[in-house]
Amino acid sequence: MKNFWESRFLPLLFLLLGLVFSSLIAWKSALWIQETEQIRFQSASNHIASLIHKELDAHIQLIHSVAAFMNASNHVSREEWKQYALENHINEHFLGFRALGYAPLIQPSERLKHEQSVRDEGFPNYTVFQLNTSSTSAMFPITYMEPLSELNEKAFGFDLASEIIRKEALHQSFIRADATLSSKINLVQKYITDHQAGFLIFFPLYQNRDVPSSEEERLKKAKGIVYIAIDAKKMFEQLLQSNYILVDFEIYDGMTPLEQNLLYNSNPDLTVPRLSHYVSLEIYGKTWTIHFKAQNALEMNNSRYFPWLQMLFGLLLFSLLSGLIYVLQRTRKKAYAIAAEKTKLLAKSESEIRSIFQTMQEGIMILNDQGMIVECNLAAQEMLQLSKSEIVGNFSSDSKWSAVQEDGSVFDREERPSYKAFHTGLAQNNVIMGIKREDGSHLWVKTNAQPLYSDDFEKISSVLVTFSDITAYRKSKYELEKYLQIIDAHVIISSTDLHGMITEVSEAFCKISGYTKEELIGRSHNIVRHPDMPTTLYKEMWDTLKKGISWSGEIKNRRKDGSDYWIETIIEPRYNEEYELVGYTAIRHDITDKKRVEELSITDRLTGLYNRLKLDELFAHYLSIAKRHQALFSIILLDIDKFKSVNDTYGHQVGDSLLQEIAKLLKTNVRFEDAVGRWGGEEFLILLPNSNSEDARLLAEKLRGVIEAENFAYVGSRTASFGVATYHQNDDEKSMTARADEALYLAKESGRNRVEVEIHTCHLPSSSTLS
């Protein structure tokens, strides 16, 4: 072995091993970099495709919202259109946004009338213009546009159906009855030379709010189109500005990446990329082809040279090692001198260690094999409030520092960490002890005991005991646990995961719901959901929470025994240390008594329907909506036939029972948005928002038949008479109820068990107003 280390070929052998080892590491690194770059490139490509899809989804949501806005009223004025665009900040929140427009369907015979109506609105130069002037088919001229800026002014009045690409997208939109993307177009700009590549998103509007079932009917029932014009370059540049991505991309309209179909190129100078990948994106009736390209997919531009650098570094390292061996072989005689020097350094290190021993914040004691303390540091003296002379030379079991466990019982000598470490040879860790000091106070410490072996490792010569002061920590922990117990008992709290499954509940939650923790954990809150609560409330709640925003509201729940209770709820998203969303926490407040008081104030005590006071409030509310928006609104007034004879024959208790049964029939046979209440005596009033006279008549006939077919308790078959009235211009509560009352009187005079509709002689609103 001595001859081996002194051989002159030893440095050359190390150099050869270094060459082999460095080459292997460089080869493995090159493979790793290549695989990593492909993974990063694919990941970045998927991320870009996801961002594009997400941004287009945002535009689609916008156009759905615009279509809903247009369908919400029979006529949207230009000022309402402009106000809607301003309130939604569409020019700020949507990337690449150029214009939001509305184009009604205009037949050639209506062209002049349409142009004159727009001119009367303050646009004296408005004219419908077409690219194909010979076209005789229906037109879709841009009538509403926001922002109506100098940049977009040229498109005002442009017939979207006069250009083949826009016309084709229009046609597809009405057939699909959904949002549809157009093919690549040149956006119409203020100046002819300023053409920008872009595309349009169309959404169809039909004459009726319901979408026709067949494609033929959809084309016949077309009313108009809403659209969004998007500047492709602007959209994708803004998308890249908000996301740091190393990969570039080209987007082509269609399945084939042809130059004439190019929508956007993030890096035109990169024509021969090292990494390349094509993806087809199917979205809203169109296919886009995305060409992802990159010269480097890693942030380190020169990463492919790293294997060579590693190899060079390895060779240098092993060359240095070989040189070191060569030098060591030549300086063997100096080793003894170095050893002597190291001995001196060791003595110095021992002195430094002793200094560290004394300055450590943790208390330290060393006990011999008899359990006597032979050394301690300053921290131990300060914690025990004793001098070194009072500690060293005493036994750990001395009554000066009697120890107790956390439950207050005395620590037996055999249970002390130092004793167990010495007699078992195992380290004792994190043992909690309470040491009673001379002044009567308790020092609570977390103790560790480590056995120390003799030089021959055959027996334990001593034990090293370390301890840290946890008195303040233990006190704060106890107080925190007490507060948590109070919260658990009195605050209605629950936590869920991201899917809404309950992971933790308080005792207060169990108490109010009637369920145990075992019954709740692992289940969703549907276990206490009340059927009266609308699904839309929970959808709104989840939409808000998934955006990372807190939600609050009042919810009606059902206990395990079937009884109801109301809670005021605040739900907050819950994050982990890396600020990743991991679930939700809800804090609730019992408001059952408050809600019961509210219900009593608006409810008729006998029937459970709305009382006269609440009906008056709702009547005024629905009338204000009808007047402001020219919306439909009708009422039904009904009276139980020959009700007096029921009271006279069977008594008032049977009459009250009949009123309750009829109230239940009425409530279960009207729409959710309709309001039913007791108008007085045996009369009931039904408020029907968004219902015309015919809708109200049909509902009244349905209710008449339901009442006639019912076999009531005590009295058998009974009937009711109905009067129907509909909102007309300048109507108020008195005029509508007066006409409904007249119709009800006519039904009574005509033989009862009938539905009569009002006879109204005033002028109805014009068709242009209601359209």
Q: Would you name the residues annotated as active-site residues?
A: 682
**Residue 365: enclosing H or E segment and its boundaries?**
strand 363-368
Q: With helix as H, strand as E and coil as C, how does 421-463 read?
A: HHHHCCCEEEEEEEEECCCCCEEEEEEEEEEEECCCCCCEEEE
Instruction: List 567's β-bridge partners, or say none.
Output: 555, 590
Check residue 393 and give left, alpha or beta (phi > 0: left; psi -120 to 50: alpha).
Answer: left
What is the Cα–Cα distance from 612 to 625, expressed in whole angstroms? Answer: 20
What is the Cα–Cα distance from 173 to 470, expressed in whole angstroms? Answer: 72
What is the Cα–Cα distance from 629 to 624, expressed in whole angstroms? Answer: 8
**Residue 483: enclosing H or E segment and its boundaries?**
helix 471-490
The first and second tokens of residue 269, run together, are 């100078």
CA atoms in the 13 A half-sphere facing the CB of 175: 8
CB atoms within 10 A of CB 65: 15
For 6, residues 6+ apart whose C-beta sits below 8 A from its C-beta are 329
Cβ 162 vs Cβ 140: under 8 Å: no
Cβ 588 vs Cβ 568: under 8 Å: yes
Place of tokens 């369907």: 105
Q: How many residues does the chain have?
A: 771
Reference 148, options 121, 168, 174; nearest CA is 121
Kindly give the residue spans of alpha helices, DSSP state H, lying in 72-163: 78-87, 90-93, 111-120
What is the Cα–Cα distance from 135 to 166, expressed in whole angstroms? Answer: 14
The first and second tokens of residue 642, run together, are 């020959």
What is the Cα–Cα distance from 403 to 436, expressed in whole angstroms? Answer: 6
Q: Beta strands 180-181 and 185-187: pairing type?
A: unpaired
The first and second tokens of residue 620, run together, are 């005024």
In DSSP notation, 34-79 reads: HHHHHHHHHHHHHHHHHHHHHHHHHHHHHHHHHHHHHHTSS---HH
Cβ burial, residue 760 (10 Å; 0-12/13-18/19+): middle
Kindly give the residue spans of alpha helices, DSSP state H, lying in 669-762: 693-709, 733-749
- Dihedral sign, Cα of residue 302, residue 303, residue 308, residue 314: positive
Place of tokens 């961002």: 51
Cβ 610 vs Cβ 676: under 8 Å: yes
Cβ 521 vs Cβ 534: under 8 Å: no
Question: Maximum distance among all alpha carbons in the chain?
Answer: 134
Check residue 285 and give left, alpha or beta (phi > 0: left; psi -120 to 50: alpha).
Answer: left
End-to-end CA distance of the chain: 106
In DSSP notation, 544-559 reads: HHTTT--EEEEEEEE-
What is the Cα–Cα distance from 62 to 55, expressed in whole angstroms? Answer: 11
The first and second tokens of residue 144, run together, are 């509403």
Q: What angle do CA 424, 430, 433 make, to 5 degrees?
A: 95
What is the Cα–Cα distance from 187 to 193, expressed in whole angstroms? Answer: 11
Reference 528, options 551, 496, 560; nearest CA is 560
Q: Beta strands 185-187 and 196-206: pairing type?
A: antiparallel
